[in-house]
Amino acid sequence: MTPVELSGPLLALSRALTDAVQAAGRADTAAFDEATSRLGRFDGEHVRRLLGAVVRPLLESSNPDGVDGDDLLELLEDCARAALPWWPGVEPVALAVVLTGAFGIDVAPREELPVQIEDADVTQHAVLVVDHVLRASGRPLKPALDAAFVEIAREDGQDT
């Protein structure tokens, strides 16, 4: 895997995501809110692609026998319990959107969900999932982030 050279907006996006995951790891509400707010300034599609390219491989590598519904439910519950003491905005429905979305499944159209979920909510909860899975596995973010950028570059190269 050849690393992707990041500069400009991609480097800023990488730094914002890194800051958000680190803030979640420290249970630092103010820093988490600030960093996820910075993520909201980027093109939403770019943020979604990057987070998806980070979340799914992390879930798959954490469950080498395959990811099933029980695995996702356990992760949802554990992640919500871990974040709730320091971030009262935790919404299990948003976590479900992130976890199922990582596998290309929409739980329901957003307007049909039991609570209103905005793009910013999905971003925040995806960061919580990334942090939770990384801490549980003892792995650092950088290799997962580098692999995500390589995968996106590969996909974009195939699209041209």
The reported pLDDT for the residue numbered 158 is 62
10 Å Cβ neighbour count for 96?
A: 18
Number of domains the chain contains: 1
Residue 3 falls within a domain, yes or no?
Answer: no
Residue 2 falls within a domain, yes or no?
Answer: no
Residue 77 falls within a domain, yes or no?
Answer: yes
Instruction: Report residue 57 as tokens.
Output: 């491989």
The reported pLDDT for the residue numbered 127 is 98
| Mean pLDDT split into 10-residue runs, the chain, 160 residues | 72 95 98 97 91 92 88 94 97 94 84 91 97 94 94 76
Residue 39 falls within a domain, yes or no?
Answer: yes
The reported pLDDT for the residue numbered 148 is 93
Residue 87 falls within a domain, yes or no?
Answer: yes
The reported pLDDT for the residue numbered 160 is 39
151: which residues sit within 8 A by CB, 6+ positions away? 53, 57
The reported pLDDT for the residue numbered 64 is 85
Structural domain harbouring 155: 8-159
Distance of CA 74 to the CA centre of its chain: 17
75 with 99: CB under 8 angstroms?
yes
The reported pLDDT for the residue numbered 2 is 52
Residue 1 falls within a domain, yes or no?
Answer: no
